Amino acid sequence: MAFTYRRILAYFLRGLLFLTPLAVTAYVIYAIFLFLDNLIPVPIPGIGILMVLGLITFIGYLASLFFTGRVFEWFERGLVRIPLVNLLYTSIKDLMGAFVGEKKKFSAPVIVQVSENLSRLGFITQEDLSIIGEPELIAVYFPHSYNVSGNVFLVPRDKVKPLQGVKSTDVMKFMVSGGVSSLK
């Protein structure tokens, strides 16, 4: 009996861990939209969305300036000193940086030979794994179909072949769609 209750409790906690950040994020965005929509006395539908997009763009502009860039760096250094916030903030920042910014990670689509008759599409995320004592391996991310998750495998370089003549965005769409989208 205890095994079943523990398993149910573990599933509940795992579901809570998955849903809570999504719910909090959705609520915060909703609250910001409502707040911004109510700032202007004349009701204009959608003004909150435009204001949030403008605010994000303005913050990005400020972050790129020399003086305010230092302020953002100082703020970021303070954030990474807080134990749980450090884990969340750096993970989200790295994930966002993988898609946008100067250090895009999903820009090198590859095909990895898994066995003689089986290959998988993926993206190189790390070329140098000598820090973990594996200089002959590279990290390849394999997204799951119809899901925002995937696996990272460390594979020998000779099993990885870069894909030529295809955009990384098309490869990602192809994989996430379960092979339904066409490779252009």
Q: What is the pLDDT of residues 3-20, one digit of tens each?
A: 687 777 777 766 766 667
Task: Say which residue the tokens 């030529």 belong to.
Answer: 164
Fill in the DSSP letter of residue 155: E
Query: What's the pLDDT band for 138 if we cut at 50, 70, 90?
Result: confident
Task: Write down the pTM of the prediction.
Answer: 0.44
- In the chain, % of residues over pLDDT 90: 0
Q: What is the pLDDT of residues 94-131, one digit of tens each?
A: 666 666 656 666 667 888 888 878 888 888 877 877 87
Q: How far apart are CA 69 and CA 87, in angstroms?
A: 22
Categorize the per-residue pLDDT at 80 as very low, low, confident or very high, splitting at 50, 70 and 90.
confident
Greatest extent of the chain over all pairs of C-alpha atoms, in Å: 67
- How many DSSP H helices and E strands does the chain contain? 5, 5
- Residue closest to 29 by CA, chosen among 4, 45, 53, 6: 53
* Tokens 């910001």 sit on residue: 32
